[in-house]
Structure 1
Amino acid sequence: MTVAAQETPPGECPQCWQHAYDKSIHRRLGPREDCPECVDHMINGCPYLVPKKKSFWW
């Protein structure tokens, strides 16, 4: 799993966040070629989410 270059927001997967906002990751792929890491996430889900901060409303 790769770690996001910029800080990942609470409740988000670091890999999904980085793949969505860092265009250099998918530059190496050919036209209409799927990213193996993204396909793995679509099939198996995200292995790690950044924990959300506790709400202080209660």
Structure 2
Amino acid sequence: MAATQTPPGECPQCWQHAHDRSAHRRLGPREDCPQCVDHMINGHPHLVPKKKSSWW
């Protein structure tokens, strides 16, 4: 079951690929996801911003 929204501080692509089984359904056994490999090599394009901490 996939979450509807990416939590703050997380990468949307990483979150979707980790929690949505359909993202890797078309891959064979032991086959790497090209999007995930590219993401690991090139890093996260953007992260969902966290709320500003206001504990003062």
**Is the TM-score greater than 0.5?**
yes
Deviation for aligned residue 1:5: 6.3
Take 1:5 and 1:52, find their aligned partners in 2: how far apart are those partners?
A: 17
Which of the residues 38, 43, 49 maps onto 1:45?
A: 43
Residue segments in structure 2 that go unaligned for 5+ positions in a row: none
* Superposition TM-score, scaled by structure 2 size: 0.90
Deviation for aligned residue 1:41: 0.9
Aligned residues: 55
C-alpha root-mean-square deviation of aligned residues, in Å?
Answer: 1.5
* Superposition TM-score, scaled by structure 1 size: 0.87
Percent identity (aligned): 84
The residue correspondences of 1:1-58 to structure 2 (distance < 5 A) are 6-58=4-56
Q: Give the helix-richer structure, 1 or 2.
A: 2
